[in-house]
Amino acid sequence: MLILQLELKSKNKDPASDTKKRTSTIKCVKGKALFRETLPMEVREGAEELRIIVCKTVQTRDGPRQSVIAACGLYIRDVLAGK
């Protein structure tokens, strides 16, 4: 069974200013996952990119951990310009 989680990350030139939020984990049913969650997130001055990261939970001998399976980036200036 695939268990997914989304992570949103606001990327800045200065990594110390990056912010991120995660959704709760959900089960993937018949190859589909539906996230019905609002994720308010601070986007700080100077942020250039929003990253959406799809993670799956994998079992290791040290316990469960998150593994990235897909990612994409949206440039904030393009989103605000309606591109």
pTM beyond cutoff 0.95: no
Any idea where the domains of the chain sit in the sequence?
Answer: 3-29+45-81
CA-CA distances (angstroms) from residue 46 to 8, 42, 72? 17, 12, 19
* 3-state DSSP assignment of residue 13: coil
**61 backbone dihedrals φ, ψ, rounded to 5°:** -65, -20
d(CA 42, CA 52) in angstroms, rounded, equals: 15
List per-residue pLDDT tens for the chain, 83 residues long. Answer: 677 888 888 888 888 888 888 888 888 888 888 888 888 888 888 888 989 888 888 888 998 888 898 999 999 889 888 86
Please answer whether residues 57 and 64 qualify as being in contact, where contact means their C-beta atoms are separated by less than 8 angstroms.
yes
